[in-house]
């Protein structure tokens, strides 16, 4: 089997983090939506969705709340209140289906394992460590390591460099339009596994779309890359 995957030239698997390993996207939106609703306004889901997978600095939620209500709000108090609720939900959440299997299978197949996230290194490594997954990764690249985050390809290019593989030797697992755009600009094969916040979006350019990673074992996915005519099962 190792000869098969050597011939295939897939030598590395690169995960996104938020929405791929943990569903941090749904509680992130829901806790902000709760804040907005407590002020009598609505945080539009479509607006929130447009920023998923990119920089958290692009959208200022408290400012948007002030614009909708026409009043001043205590930004720091709101952020503290919302943050604790958010962290409690994340700490109680399980790793998404199929993730652990893919990590285990990638190691058994001799693939290098990377992670490329627009979040901070403390956020990513902290959650991975608490779930005993941190030590599996050969490379972790976050917003702390690059100038530009997704949809810019810089995170993936940095991952490729540290992993020592070419773009055609790696496949990426993403959940958002920004992530897919970054992966394809980097020249990577991209598997889209949307989370509950992105599943209703029309995300283009991914090579394969799965509902969850548990829908298709990694060896089957690699065979699909080798033979695109192979059935998705």
Tokens 């929405």 belong to 19
Structure token digits, residue 46: 């479509």
Q: Which pLDDT score is estimated for 231?
A: 62
Residue 16: strand, helix, or coil: coil
Query: What residues contact 183, with CB distance under 8 A and at least 6 apart?
Result: 153, 156, 172, 174, 190
Task: Clarify whether 18 is annotated catalytic.
Answer: yes
The CA dihedral of 74, 80, 85, 89, to the nearest 10 degrees, is: 130
Q: Which pLDDT score is estimated for 71?
A: 93
The string of pLDDT tens digits covering residues 88-123 is: 999 999 999 999 999 999 999 999 999 999 999 999
- Residue 51, phi then psi, degrees to nearest 5: -105, -5
Q: Which pLDDT score is estimated for 4?
A: 43
Helix/strand number for the chain, H first, E second: 10, 6
**C-alpha span between 29 and 50 (Å, rounded):** 12
**C-alpha span between 140 and 125 (Å, rounded):** 8
**C-alpha span between 95 and 101 (Å, rounded):** 11
Q: pLDDT > 70: what percent of the chain?
A: 92
**Active-site choice (7, 16, 152, 200):** 16
**Active-site choice (18, 23, 28, 152):** 18
User: How many other C-beta atoms can be found within 10 angstroms of the C-beta atom of residue 136?
Assistant: 14
Residue 22: strand, helix, or coil: strand
Query: What residues contact 164, with CB distance under 8 A and at least 6 apart?
Result: 112
Going from N- to C-terminal start, the domains of the chain cover 2-24+95-226, 25-91
Q: Which pLDDT score is estimated for 233?
A: 57
Q: Per the CATH hierarchy, to which homologous superfamily does domain 2-24+95-226 belong?
A: HAD superfamily/HAD-like (3.40.50.1000)
Could you report how far apart the first and last alpha carbons of the chain are, in Å? Answer: 19
Which of 5-9, 48-52, 129-133 shows the lowest mean pLDDT across its residues? 5-9
Q: Is the backbone of residue 110 left (phi > 0), alpha (psi -120 to 50) or beta?
A: left
Q: Which pLDDT score is estimated for 193?
A: 97
Q: What is the pTM of this model?
A: 0.86
The string of pLDDT tens digits covering residues 146-162 is: 999 999 999 999 999 99
User: How many other C-beta atoms can be found within 10 angstroms of the C-beta atom of residue 87?
Assistant: 12
């Amino acid at each position: 089997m190792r000869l098969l995957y050597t011939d295939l030239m897939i030598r590395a698997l690169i995960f996104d983090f938020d929405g791929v390993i943990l569903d941090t996207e749904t509680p992130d939106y829901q806790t902000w939506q709760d804040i907005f609703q407590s002020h009598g306004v609505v945080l539009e889901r479509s607006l929130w969705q447009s920023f998923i997978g990119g920089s958290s600095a692009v959208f200022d939620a408290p400012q948007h709340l002030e614009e909708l209500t026409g009043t001043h709000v205590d930004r720091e108090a709101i952020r503290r209140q919302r943050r604790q609720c958010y962290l409690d939900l994340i700490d109680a959440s399980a790793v998404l289906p199929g993730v652990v299997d893919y990590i285990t299978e990638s190691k058994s197949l001799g693939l290098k394992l990377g992670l490329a996230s627009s979040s901070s290194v403390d956020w990513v490594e902290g959650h991975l460590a608490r779930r005993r997954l941190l030590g599996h990764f050969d490379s972790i690249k976050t917003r702390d390591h690059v100038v530009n985050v997704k949809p810019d390809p810089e995170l993936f290019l940095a991952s490729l460099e540290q992993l020592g593989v070419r773009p055609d030797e790696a496949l990426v697992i993403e959940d958002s339009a920004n992530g897919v755009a970054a992966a394809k600009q980097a020249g990577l094969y991209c598997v889209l596994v949307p989370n509950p916040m992105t599943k209703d979006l029309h995300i283009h350019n991914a090579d394969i779309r799965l509902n969850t990673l548990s829908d298709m074992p990694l060896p089957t996915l690699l065979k699909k890359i080798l033979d695109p005519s192979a059935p998705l099962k």
